[in-house]
Amino acid sequence: MLLHVPGVLDDASLSRIRKTLEGAAWTDGRETVGPQGAGVKRNLQLPDGSPVRHELGQLVTAALAASPLYFAAALPLRALPPRFNCYQGGGTYGLHVDGAVMTPAAPPGQVAATMRTDISCTLFLSEPDEYDGGQLVIHDTYGTHEVKLPAGDLILYPSSSLHMVEPVTRGARLAAFFWIQSLIRDDAQRRMLFEMDTAIQSLTASGADAAALLQLTGVYHNLLRRWAET
C-alpha cells in the first residue's frame, strides 16, 4: 500500500528541524549501506551516532505517535529511529530494494534485536519548489509512482518495492526516513484492515446504525487478532 499522510509535522516542529539541520555535520550516505547500495547512492546523511539525529528523531517519533492516519495504515509493531538525509548537487539514489532485516542500535549493556522491514517511510522536510528533481520513484504492481510532497508530509510504501530518488539538480532536498515492522506482515491484509478502519470511521461520523457499526468493528478486531504477529 502506497499512502500519503499529510501534515505529520506542524509548522513549529518543521521550522525547528530545518534550522537545526542547517548547522548539522553531514557524512557520506554510502557509509550506511552495503556494497550494492553504495554503487548507486550519492547523498549526505547525519551519522547514526549523531546527537542531532537523536534529538530530531525523537521529535519526528512524537509527531508520528500523534497521527491516527499513520497508525491506522502502518499498524506499527516496532520502528527504526528516523535517519536524516540531504540530496544536492546532483545527489541521487539509484534503483534499489531496502534490506529485509535491519538491526537498530541497542542501549549499552543490551543485545541488539533484529527487525523485519515491512514498510518504508519518507518524511519530506523541504518544499517542492525549493529544489528541482529529487522525486521518490516507486515501482509496484500498479505501475510507477513519482512522489514529491510538501514539507511535513509523509509517504509510506512496502519495503519490498523497487524505488529510487531522482538526481537533485537545484537546491537541496532534506528528508527523514525510517522503516517499520508492522503487526501485519502481509501488505494486502494491511490494506484491507486500513480500508475497513477508514470505513468504520466514516460511518461513525455519519451517524450510522450503532449495532451494525459494533458488528463491523468486531470483524475488524477479529481479523487483526487473526493476522497480527507480535
163 is in an annotated binding site: yes
Calpha distance 44→49 (Å, rounded) = 15
98 is in an annotated binding site: yes
96 is in an annotated binding site: yes
Count of helices and strands (H, E) across the chain: 6, 16
CA atoms within 13 A on the CB side of 181: 18
Paired with 45 in beta bridges are 27, 85
Amino acid, single-letter form, for residue 152: G
Residue 99's nearest CA partner among 182, 30, 37 is 37
Which residues neighbour 178 within 8 Å (Cβ) at sequence distance 6 or greater? 60, 79, 80, 81, 82, 83, 121
83 is in an annotated binding site: no
Calpha distance 62→165 (Å, rounded) = 26
Long-range (24+ apart) CB contacts under 8 A made by 189-193 are 189/223, 189/227, 190/1, 190/73, 190/75, 190/118, 191/1, 192/223, 193/75, 193/220, 193/223, 193/224, 193/227
- Please report, in range form, the residues annotated as the binding site for Fe cation: 96, 98, 163
Can you say which residues are annotated as belonging to the binding site for 2-oxoglutarate? Answer: 173
Annotated binding site: 96, 98, 163, 173
